[in-house]
Amino acid sequence: MMDFAKLDDLKAHLSSMRPLNPGELKRLRNDFNIEFTYDTNAIEGSTLTLRETALILQEDITIAEKPLRMHLDAIGHRDAFEFVVSIADNADKLTESRIKEIHNLVLMSDAENKGMYRSVPVTIQGALHTPPQPHSIIPQMEALLSEYEDMKRDMHVIEAIAEFHLRFEDIHPFIDDNGRTGRLIINLELIKAGFLPVNIKFTDRLKYYECFDSYYGTKPHNPDALTELIAGYEVQELKRYIKIIEAKNGI
């Protein structure tokens, strides 16, 4: 069992500090969104650079040598993260309809499949698990969402979020963009729990993939590897925000 005391202490310390004003918070969130969009899309194969991603999202500039799909992926993900932030104050349970709303924004380049569960079987190259057949998606998603509420009561929320993500990606409910949708769900649930959103870096993609191998390569399945990855990013974000506020207040 992991020791979450440091994480919770940092969260409590940040909560006790004078908050950033709306303009400052918006600027930090916008900067985070650009980096998050760059990294999460790069994990899925986008070749847009961080600078190109910023130009697309901030200046509406088209990168001539890059496919339209990559531009739409960047815009769709930005909009999906803004949506996640806008609904995070609502403490409602995570639902299938909410997940479909997020996917609908993420997959803006595919009008036929966005926000819709897949109707064909899929495989994940190199994975230790095979996603269920289409007819099993709804019952498995319903079971996961129900069990997720129990997980949040029985374990630390970071561990519950990691477990949910691993199982969501196993179900692979959509034809495309399950990874980007799943990482947005991670951040929705983190913000709802009073934590900061995290960005799984493209440079850490192998470590991220190994979390799935670690989970599915053990019985009973153990989410510790992904829990540690998310918790590590969360500690970094909390420390960064604390340092920003301390500098602002001359501490």
Q: Give me the amino acid identity at 37.
A: T
Assess if residue 105 is contained within a domain: yes
Task: Output DSSP code: residue 133.
Answer: P
Assess if residue 241 is contained within a domain: yes
Assess if residue 4 is contained within a domain: no
- Dihedral over Cα of 24, 27, 28, 29: its sign: positive
State the Cα torsion 166-171-176-179 to the nearest 10°.
-10
Question: How many domains, in total, are found in the chain?
Answer: 1
Q: Write the DSSP assignment of 5-58 as a string of letters.
A: HHHHHHHHHHHHSPPPPHHHHHHHHHHHHHHHHHHHHHHTT----HHHHHHHHH
106: containing domain? 21-118+130-248
Scan for tokens 């990691």, then name that residue.
162
128, 213 in Cβ contact below 8 A? Answer: yes
What pLDDT score does 182 carry? 98
Distance CA 166, CA 168 (A): 6
118, 174 in Cβ contact below 8 A? Answer: yes
Assess if residue 154 is contained within a domain: yes
The structure tokens listed for 58 are 């901030």
Assess if residue 9 is contained within a domain: no
- Categorize the per-residue pLDDT at 3 as very low, low, confident or very high, splitting at 50, 70 and 90: confident
Residue with the bigger pLDDT between 89 and 117: it is 117
- Dihedral over Cα of 239, 162, 126, 134: its sign: negative
- Categorize the per-residue pLDDT at 178 as very low, low, confident or very high, splitting at 50, 70 and 90: very high
Catalytic residue among 77, 129, 156, 172: 172
What pLDDT score does 220 carry? 85
What pLDDT score does 18 carry? 87
Question: What separation in angstroms does the CA of 228 have from each of 106, 110, 158, 176, 237?
Answer: 26, 34, 9, 27, 14
Assess if residue 16 is contained within a domain: no
Q: What is the pTM of this model?
A: 0.96
Assess if residue 11 is contained within a domain: no
Closest CA relative to residue 39, chosen from 57, 60, 53: 53
The average confidence (pLDDT) of the chain is 94
Q: Write out pLDDT tens, residues 211-244.
A: 999 998 888 889 999 999 999 999 999 999 999 9
Residue 30 exposed, middle or buried by CB count within 10 Å (0-12, 13-18, 19+)? middle
Q: Is 172 a catalytic residue?
A: yes
Task: Kindly report the CATH number assigned to the domain that includes residue 229.
Answer: 1.10.3290.10
Q: Write out pLDDT tens, residues 32-71.
A: 999 999 999 999 999 999 999 999 999 999 999 999 999 9
Number of helices (H), then strands (E), belonging to the chain: the values are 10, 0
**pLDDT at 4 > cutoff 90:** yes
Assess if residue 188 is contained within a domain: yes
What pLDDT score does 27 carry? 95
What pLDDT score does 1 carry? 58
Distance CA 211, CA 205 (A): 10
**pLDDT at 26 > cutoff 70:** yes
Q: Write out pLDDT tens, residues 192-215.
A: 999 999 999 999 999 999 999 999
Q: Write out pLDDT tens, residues 117-162.
A: 999 999 887 667 789 999 999 999 999 999 999 999 999 999 999 9
Distance CA 7, CA 28 (A): 21
